Amino acid sequence: MIVANKNDLKKYTAEFIGTFALVFCGTAAIIVNEQMNGAVSHSGIAIVFGAIVTVMILAFGDISGAHFNPAVTIGFVFLNKLGKGKMFYYILSQLSGAIFASMILRVLFPGNKLLGTTVPSGSPVQSFVLEFLLTFFLMLVIIKVSTGSKEKGMLAAFAVGFTVLLEAMFAGPVSGASMNPARSLAPALISGHLKYLWVYIFAPLSGALFALPVCKFTSLSNQ
């Protein structure tokens, strides 16, 4: 497979940088909170995740669409808003950015065991259902603010960012509120804690795909 052109490279670079920033800032907040006796706080972690998503969408939304999430990318392929040929490069860029962020955090915080890895605080089934629903809601918002008359960069950025913040605020202590396979894969891979990774890969993918027919059904015929 050959990368098509310079504009495609810009899109893949935007996905790399945006996902890198998401994982670096978000999981760094978790690590710092653990090592600094709760200095960031749970609410602070949720705000960091919501804020970094917002600013990265504002920065790169008009370049790549600012997916920063393999589940979102796959969803947009099914919506015919992204070509299948680009899906591989989008996801590769996202995973590479996420893993690079976790590698840097391993160097910066060598004594931290989890590096912000998402693990269930209860049963894996509980976290699976929660991650499914969280990603379902997130994908609904993403689709609704990126199509039709509401396709505005700032609106999309703040709507998606606040959705991430709100969901992380209440679900973070239970499942980690990942909603993103790349965000969970990177710290799990670098820290070696892979036991529950299946939850954070299959639940977000299932939730994002389930949102597609629901969005279609709830859309007005003139949209």
pLDDT single digits (tens) 183-211: 999 999 999 999 999 999 999 999 999 99
Does this model's pTM top 0.85? My answer is: yes
Residue 111: what are its φ and ψ, rounded to 5°?
-85, -10
pLDDT single digits (tens) 40-85: 999 999 999 999 999 999 999 999 999 999 999 999 999 999 999 9
Report how far residue 44's alpha carbon sits from residue 150's, in angstroms, rounded to the nearest whole number.
29
Both structure tokens of 98 = 């996420």
Q: Which residue ranges form the domains of the chain, and what is each CATH number? A: 6-218 (1.20.1080.10)
Report whether pLDDT(149) > 60: no
Check: CB of residue 95 under 8 Å from CB of residue 18: no
Q: Where are the beta strands (DSSP E) in 54-156?
A: none
Check: CB of residue 139 under 8 Å from CB of residue 67: no
**In the chain, what is the straight-line distance between the N-terminal and C-terminal CA atoms, in Å?**
35
Determine the average pLDDT of the residues in 146-155: 62
Q: What is the largest CA-CA distance in the chain?
A: 56
Both structure tokens of 136 = 């379902």
pLDDT score for 152: 55
Check: CB of residue 119 under 8 Å from CB of residue 178: no
Report whether pLDDT(94) > 70: yes
Give the list of residues 6+ apart from residue 210 with CB closer than 8 angstroms, or none: 132, 136
Q: If 0-12 CB within 10 Å is exposed, 13-18 middle and 19+ buried, where does residue 121 land?
A: exposed
pLDDT score for 153: 63
Concatenate the DSSP letters of all residues of 64-89 into one string.
H----SHHHHHHHHHTTSS-HHHHHH
Comparing 86-95, 126-135, 212-221, the range with the smallest average pLDDT is 212-221
Check: CB of residue 142 under 8 Å from CB of residue 72: yes
Report how far residue 49's alpha carbon sits from residue 188's, in angstroms, rounded to the nearest whole number.
18
Report how far residue 181's alpha carbon sits from residue 128's, in angstroms, rounded to the nearest whole number.
12
Residue for token digits 């920033």? 21
pLDDT score for 150: 45
Comparing 1-10, 16-25, 62-71, the range with the smallest average pLDDT is 1-10
